[in-house]
Structure 1
Amino acid sequence: MGGEITGDGVVGLSRSLLTAGAESVIVSLWAVDDSSTSDLMVEFYQQLQQNPDKAKALRQAMLSTMKKHPHPIHWAAFTLIGNAE
């Protein structure tokens, strides 16, 4: 007998990571192209070095990614769950 498939998806995974001790997680609500994801995450960590507020760093990374990948499918899927600081 295998595990039950539920509709928890990203929320269930995020909850599990937070329960395991992560202060926060950035998740994608849908599959995103590897290239735009890489651009966004590199920019996120660069922004995070300048500003410890993860929500603000993610927003700036999204704005930067929009310049190279203007369609929202490339950057709008990402969200921060948990502590922003």
Structure 2
Amino acid sequence: MRSGEWKYIRYFSKENDRKKYLPDASINGEQPIYEELFNLEDDPNEQNNLAQNPEYKEILNAHRKRCQELVVELAQ
């Protein structure tokens, strides 16, 4: 998911997600097994994953929330 200067990516277990196109596990609240957060203005080559950096926790949480909203909307 991209939003202006940010790019957020999350990955789920294919086994838990039943290998479906629509992420059923995501819709049901499963936590991602891996996340990436990039500041595209400062890091256009996406070399510095900020998802684990506590300084970006609010930005990460906002993108988690919006991504979840989009997944649910898509599934409807």
Q: Which has the higher contact order (CA 8 A, sep 6+)?
A: 1
* Larger fraction in helix: 1
Same fold (TM over 0.5): no
TM-score norm. by structure 1 comes to: 0.29
- Larger strand proportion, structure 1 or 2? 2
Larger Rg: 1 or 2?
1
